[in-house]
Amino acid sequence: MFFGKSPKAIWVSALIYALLVAWSRIAVGAHFPTDVIGGAFIGLVGAGLAMLIYHRTACGRTTG
């Protein structure tokens, strides 16, 4: 999502989509709620680390 530079409508749409997918995985019995929560946590941690690395490397720009 370009680390917060996208319009709010895109963020809201992505969140709604993620919640619907999570709910559908539980509803069809493919995953337990703990699986979905764990996956969401891992995804958020991964995104946070990616943002941290991106911002610590001169905002994603390479030199030279």
What does the pLDDT read at residue 45?
A: 96
Q: Where are the domains of the chain?
A: 2-60
What does the pLDDT read at residue 53?
A: 87
Q: Give pLDDT tens digits for 3-42.
A: 556 688 888 888 899 999 999 999 999 999 999 999 999 9
Q: CB-based contacts of 22: which residues, under 8 Å, 6+ apart? A: 36, 40
What does the pLDDT read at residue 51?
A: 83
Whole-model pTM over 0.85:
no
Confidence bin at 61 (pLDDT 50/70/90): low
Helix axes 33-56, 8-27, angle to 10 degrees: 150
